[in-house]
């Protein structure tokens, strides 16, 4: 029940007074309720749980994470510490 899958919004429409959409998951298209992500626009990615979009995936945050890991080896050599944005620097006693 905690499982939520990411898909790309390709269509928005109304059904029964509810904001609905269609998400594309690598070629599989699924109908989803968008009432909980009212600000979502076409092209954005959402996480869907039990037929409801529960969040718009933040592409910047996601890219941040990748870039952090891609550069990880360099940074580690230079500073001898772990650097993630808005996470504590390592403190050793």
Partner 1 sequence: MSDNDQVPSWSGAPVCPLPLTNHETVQLAHGSGGRMSAELVAKFFQPRFSNPYLDRLEDQAVLPRPAGRLAFSTDTFVVDPLFFPGGSIGDLAVNGTVNDVCMSGATPLYLSVGFVLEEGLPLATLHRILLDMEKAAGQAGVTVVTGDTKVVPRGSCDKIFINTSGIGVIPEGLALSAASLEVGDQIIISGTVADHGMAVMTCRQGLSFHAGITSDTAPLSSLISEMLRATGAIRTLRDPTRGGLAATLNEFAGTSGKGLEVVRELIPLRPEVAAACEILGIDPLNVANEGKLVAVVAADAAAGLLAAMRHHPLGREAVVIGEVVASHPGLVAVKNAMGILQILEMPLGEQLPRIC
Partner 2 sequence: MKYLSEYRDPQVARQILAEIHRLTTRPWVVMEVCGGQTHAIVRSGIDQLLPKEITLVHGPGCPVCVTPLETIDQAIAIAASPGVIFCSFGDMLRVPGSSRDLLTARSAGADVRIVYSPLEALQLARENPASQVVFLAIGFETTAPGNAMAIIQAEREGLENFSELVCQVLVPPALRALLASPANLVQGYLAAGHVCTITGLDEYWEIARSQRVPIVATGLEANDILEGLLMLIELLEAGRCEVLNQYSRSVRPGGNLPARAAVNKVFEVVDQKWRGIGELPGSGLKIRQEYQNFDAAQRFAVGKIKVAEPVECISGLILQGLKRPDACGAFGSRCTPEKPLGATMVSSEGACAAYYLYKPLN
Q: How far is CA 28 from CA 18, 39, 88, in A?
A: 22, 23, 40
Residues at the site binding partner 1, with contacts judged by CB under 8 A = 3, 5, 22, 25-31, 51
Is 69 a binding residue for partner 2 by CB under 8 A? The answer is: yes
The yes or no reply on residue 43 touching partner 2 (CB under 8 A) is no
79 binds partner 2 (CB under 8 A): no
- CB 92, min distance to partner 2, A: 7
Residue 13 interacts with partner 2 (CB under 8 A): yes or no: no
What CA–CA distance (Å, rounded) separates 57 from 10? 15
């Amino acid at each position: 029940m905690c499982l939520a899958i990411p898909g790309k919004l390709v269509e928005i429409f109304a059904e029964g007074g509810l904001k609905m959409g269609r998400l594309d998951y690598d070629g599989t298209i699924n109908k989803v309720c968008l009432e909980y992500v009212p600000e979502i626009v076409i092209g954005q990615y959402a996480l869907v749980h039990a037929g409801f979009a529960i969040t718009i995936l933040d592409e910047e945050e996601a890219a941040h994470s990748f870039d952090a890991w891609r550069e990880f080896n360099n940074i580690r050599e230079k500073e001898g510490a772990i650097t993630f944005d808005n996470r504590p620097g390592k403190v050793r006693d």
